[in-house]
Amino acid sequence: MATLDRADTFIVDVPTIRPHVLAMATMYSQAMVIVRLTDSDGVEGIGEGTTIGGLSYGDESPESIKSAIDTYILPVLRTCNIAHVGATMAKVAKSVRGNHFAKCAIETALLDMVGKRLGVPVSELIGGGRVRDTLPVAWTLASGDTARDIAEGEEMLSLRRHRIFKLKIGKRDVRADVAHVGEICKALGDRASVRVDVNQNWSEAQAKLGMAMLQDVGCDLVEQPIPGDDIAGMARLSAAQAVPLMADEALRGQRTALRIAATGAAGVFALKVAQSGGLFATAEVAAIGTAAGIGLYGGTMLEGGVGTIASAHVFATVPELAWGTELFGPLLQVEEILTEPLGYADFNLAVPTGPGLGIALDEDKVASFRRDRTAPLLHTVSAGA
Ligand code: MUC
Ligand code: MG
């Protein structure tokens, strides 16, 4: 029996290494909700709930994630034997609807504790268990400038850090965006795989034109070209276009995965732990994709070290990860808030092998970025226009 003894939930704001230009917002810093739980035996677990651009990406914000945890989820945890993660999260689901990001942060912390108690990595507690120790990692070129993106891509290739690049488009005219992608494809040639993410910003007509043109310039994959709730539109585009469509914002757990699979709305799933509602749910989304012959990709919400490693543990259990991952979030931030640097080398990220998540927070770094202990970096995300 393990009961919850202490809980601390706080937001850290870490500046990005350069402005990150997305269709819906430009990021200058990342806000991450960190939760730290301690049980009655003194075992500690950490989790992260992170979104992008305040409320411009989805319907949970850093502030709402913290509030959902503190006000509604922790009181439930205080009534549970938290050594049983599945039963605890089932009880949470009865009193808290939705709020996938908040639930994911809590489930991560509970799994970290159980892994430490059992002496096994979190990846051994999920799905069919761990099948790999390293994950290919993409980088997002989103400086807002084509020449700078090409230089950044070249640098990543020469450092042997990334050879998969995702370009953020959808803000400009379709033809201007495709010209930008075409220049990058031409410059990087067959040394890299180039993909795009439109973050829902095209109409179906724009997507029809854009996807056909993108295929011609050598783009390998088009992520969420139209709104995620337009499953019928995604199915029409997937049927008509040769370049695969990847579902991101459309994918919010098992039911949406089943609907997308059943309607042929996407050829690839971007698996995301927070969007799916937790690590267990992500493994189930992956299983639905695999059963439907859908290609799998390990997505990110640009989490810091904790959320990135939680995701890595899940992706390490996916038998076939045809499109790799984009677990580069910590590299976009000026500093990692962990005691040990993450293992990025040779185009891959090493999945930790220690018990639980296999990572620890650096208390000094945490203190220097905590919103409640520093001058807030609030509202440093500017709306896209
Ligand atoms: C998204 O929409 O996929 C992932 C990489 C990046 O730059 O932004 C994200 C979110
Ligand atoms: Mg996306």
Q: Whose CA is nearest to atom 4 of ligand 1?
A: 300
Of ligand 1's listed atoms, the one at least distance from the Cα of 20 is 7
Confidence of residue 377 (pLDDT cuts 50, 70, 90): low
When pLDDT is averaged across residues 94-104 and rounded to a whole number, the result is 98
Q: Which two structure tokens, joined as six digits, stand for 53?
A: 């651009």
Q: What's the Cα-to-Cα distance from 366 to each of 10, 184, 207, 212, 369, rounded to whole Å?
A: 10, 37, 42, 46, 5
Beta bridge partner(s), residue 20: 27
pLDDT of 239 over the 70 cut: yes
Q: Over the stretch 318-350, which tens digit does the pLDDT of each residue have?
A: 999 999 999 999 999 999 999 999 999 999 999
DSSP state of 316: T
Q: What's the Cα-to-Cα distance from 228 to each of 45, 245, 327, 359, rounded to whole Å?
A: 33, 12, 22, 34
**What pLDDT does residue 382 have?**
52
Q: Which two structure tokens, joined as six digits, stand for 99?
A: 């709020």
Of ligand 1's listed atoms, the one at least distance from the Cα of 199 is 2
DSSP for 34-98, written as a single string: EEEEEETTS-EEEEEEE-STTTTSSS--HHHHHHIIIIIIHHHHTTS-TT-HHHHHHHHHHH--S
pLDDT of 277 over the 80 cut: yes
Q: Please, are residues 104 and 278 in contact by the beta-carbon 8 Å criterion?
A: yes
- The best mutation among 20, 32, 166, 200 to test binding of ligand 1, ranked by most ligand atoms within 8 Å of the C-beta, falls on 166
Is 4-120+363-372 a domain of CATH 3.30.60.50?
no
When pLDDT is averaged across residues 135-152 and rounded to a whole number, the result is 96
pLDDT of 307 over the 60 cut: yes
The answer to whether 168 is a known catalytic residue is: yes
Ligand 1, pocket residues at CB < 6 Å: 52, 140, 142, 166, 168, 197, 199, 248, 299-300, 302, 326
The closest alpha carbon to 193, from 23, 347, 316, belongs to 347
63 burial class (0-12, 13-18, 19+ CB within 10 angstroms)? middle
Q: Which of 12-16, 331-335, 376-380 has the lowest mean pLDDT?
A: 376-380
Domain chopping of the chain, boundaries: 4-120+363-372, 125-350
Element (H, E) at 167: strand 164-168
Confidence of residue 385 (pLDDT cuts 50, 70, 90): very low
**What pLDDT does residue 373 have?**
85
Q: Please, are residues 289 and 269 in contact by the beta-carbon 8 Å criterion?
A: yes
Q: Please, are residues 175 and 213 in contact by the beta-carbon 8 Å criterion?
A: yes
Percent of residues, the chain, with pLDDT higher than 70: 97
**What is the rounded average pLDDT for all residues in the chain?**
96
Confidence of residue 113 (pLDDT cuts 50, 70, 90): very high
Of ligand 1's listed atoms, the one at least distance from the Cα of 57 is 2
Sign of CA dihedral 330, 333, 337, 338: positive
When pLDDT is averaged across residues 73-96 and rounded to a whole number, the result is 98
Residue 299 has φ and ψ, to the nearest 5°, of -85, 175
Burial pattern 287-315, b for ≥16 Cβ within 10 A else e, equals bbbbeeebbbbbbbbbbbbbbbbbbbbbb
**What pLDDT does residue 384 have?**
45
When pLDDT is averaged across residues 299-311 and rounded to a whole number, the result is 98
pLDDT of 294 over the 80 cut: yes
Q: For residue 121, how many C-alpha atoms fall within 13 Å in the half-sphere facing its CB?
A: 24
Q: Please give the model's pTM, rounded to 2 decimal places.
A: 0.96
When pLDDT is averaged across residues 58-62 and rounded to a whole number, the result is 97
Ligand 2 centroid to Cα of residue 359, in Å, is: 26
pLDDT of 375 over the 80 cut: no
When pLDDT is averaged across residues 45-67 and rounded to a whole number, the result is 97
Q: Over the stretch 36-46, which tens digit does the pLDDT of each residue have?
A: 999 999 999 99
When pLDDT is averaged across residues 303-309 and rounded to a whole number, the result is 98
pLDDT of 379 over the 70 cut: no
Q: Please, are residues 114 and 125 in contact by the beta-carbon 8 Å criterion?
A: yes
Catalytic residue among 166, 168, 208, 272: 168
pLDDT of 183 over the 90 cut: yes
Confidence of residue 144 (pLDDT cuts 50, 70, 90): confident
- Laid out side by side, the sheet with 348-350 consists of 134-136, 348-350, 344-345
Q: Which CATH number does 125-350 carry?
A: 3.20.20.120
